Amino acid sequence: MRHYVGGGFDASGAPFPLVDPTRGHVVGEVPSAPRELVDRAVDAARAALRGPWASWSPADRARLLHRVADGIERRFEEFVAAECADTGKPRELASTVDIPRAVANFRAYADLLAGRAERSWRTATPDGRGALNYTVRKPLGVVAVISPWNLPLLLLTWKVAPALATGNTVVAKPSELTPGTACLLAEVMAEAEVPTGVFNLVHGGGADAAGQWLTEHPGVDAIAFTGESRTGSTIMRAAAGRLAPVSFELGGKNAGLVFADADLEQAVEGTLRSSFTHSGQVCLCTERVYVERSVFDAFAGRLAAGARALSGYGPMVSAAHRDKVRGYLDKAAADGDVLAGGGVPRFSDDRDGGFWVEPTVLAGLPEDHPAVREEIFGPVVHLAPFDTEEEALALANAGPYGLAATVWTGDVSRAHRVAPALDVGTAWVNTWNLRDLRTPFGGVKASGIGREGGDHSLDFFSEPMNVCVKL
């Protein structure tokens, strides 16, 4: 595990342990970047803005992004192995979602960039000769990219690709829990001959470490972050003094609505997937489901049976996160009903030293209970009944978060009525996590600021400038 600064690899800094969440073993060490190295990374990125990178055309940058995508594909199995080792997620998930999506991120933004056009206007003037106005989009400058531990490569490349596409330079900091795929990406960047200083990578924690030093750095022009809402608030305060633009995808306590006219089997299967993919450690996962009362018992019974039958799921990412999730489960068990799970699976092998929690279905808790209101970010879902459409919307829209929601219904009119009324950035109807990379993605309220995806990302990472020419 190494930093990558100014086109060279560096292992300086005090090491911290890298732990395998599946078994709880220390499997390696990661260097924590000293402040001096963070300064060097920002300086290298700023120097690159004034170097040959400034003269690269959009077509040149698009070709570079495709070379990076090619490099990830050539080392596909290495990336899968690193993703699984760091996160504990099943190989099937990493090989079909995380690594292919990283490749797609670079290709999608390369293709979007190639087809992007700017606008121009002819303007009347008193002398009749007119003027021509046109826009030019310019990079923001040095962008700090801070990515989380749950989808390490997917979310890192989701920001790095559009930042590079629009001509910025990047200093990236992955989560200290999951640095493996970021290190491989740095190697791919070097192999793809990304110009010196255009992409830099530093490792370390947040407070009083690389994360804080990077977000507070006066040489950083913009910050793109995915993670907890509280951390987003801290970063926003750090950026406020210099008015640096921020793009935040933050937490969620996502709701699902199941109406009596839904295909019950489809709704159960979809909710199992939306609640327990990556053991619930996805910002889009469903943590609270509201079910029309006439089908509540049938839905709850089937969902609980499905949760008990799940296999092949992964652990929590760390001992601390496991303990956080177990804390919520202990409170819930004391105050409500545990329909499935709630404990720790036993394997009778070295996995018993890992950070596991059973897929858990809860019911009977009041809406102000911490397990219903606060983000758990684990394999836990709470069920509650509703009687009317209006009540369902009020329940779904309550609380501080607004990232995503699901609606399960067989009534097309209801689907088009309910989905837009949800206070979220994304609403899925009779599906979950079906994504088109051109569409806007992000949250409202405590779930984020701004939108990522397609032109929305390209717009964030570039500044429009107007040029007016008198004819």
Answer yes or no: 285 catalytic: no
Q: Compute the distance between CA of residue 21 and CA of residue 147 in angstroms, rounded to an integer.
A: 19
Task: Please name every residue paired with 465 in a beta bridge, in sequence order, or none if there are none.
Answer: 136
Helix and strand numbers, DSSP H then E, in the chain: 16, 22
Residue by residue, what is the 3-state secondary structure of 256-316?
A: EEECCCCCHHHHHHHHHHHHHHHHHCCCCCEEEEEEEHHHHHHHHHHHHHHHHHCCCCCCC
Q: Compute the distance between CA of residue 329 and CA of residue 428 in angstroms, rounded to an integer.
A: 28
Q: Compute the distance between CA of residue 34 and CA of residue 13 in angstroms, rounded to an integer.
A: 6
Q: Compute the distance between CA of residue 407 and CA of residue 388 in angstroms, rounded to an integer.
A: 14
257, 286 in Cβ contact below 8 A?
A: no
pLDDT of residue 114: 82
Task: Please name every residue paired with 16 in a beta bridge, in sequence order, or none if there are none.
Answer: 30
Work out the angle between the directed axes of helices 152-165 and 76-87 (0-180°, nearest 10).
130
**HSE-CB for 399 with a 13 A CA cutoff:** 27
Q: Which of 84, 183, 283, 285 is catalytic?
A: 283
Q: What is the pTM of this model?
A: 0.96
pLDDT of residue 67: 98
pLDDT of residue 239: 96
Name the stretches of the chain with pLDDT < 50.
none
Q: Compute the distance between CA of residue 280 and CA of residue 371 in angstroms, rounded to an integer.
A: 14
Burial of 273 (0-12, 13-18, 19+ CB in 10 A): middle
CA distances from 362 to 84, 121, 174, 311 (A): 29, 59, 33, 19
What kind and span of H or E run contains 122? strand 120-123
pLDDT of residue 68: 98
pLDDT of residue 118: 86
Q: Which fold has domain 3-250+447-470?
A: Aldehyde Dehydrogenase; Chain A, domain 1 (3.40.605)
123, 112 in Cβ contact below 8 A?
A: no
**HSE-CB for 246 with a 13 A CA cutoff:** 23
Answer yes or no: 283 catalytic: yes
Q: Which of 249, 292, 358, 375 is catalytic?
A: 249
Residues of the chain within CATH 3.40.605.10 domain(s) are: 3-250+447-470
CA distances from 26 to 260, 278, 320 (A): 49, 22, 15
361, 307 in Cβ contact below 8 A?
A: yes
pLDDT of residue 15: 97
Class of domain 254-436: alpha beta
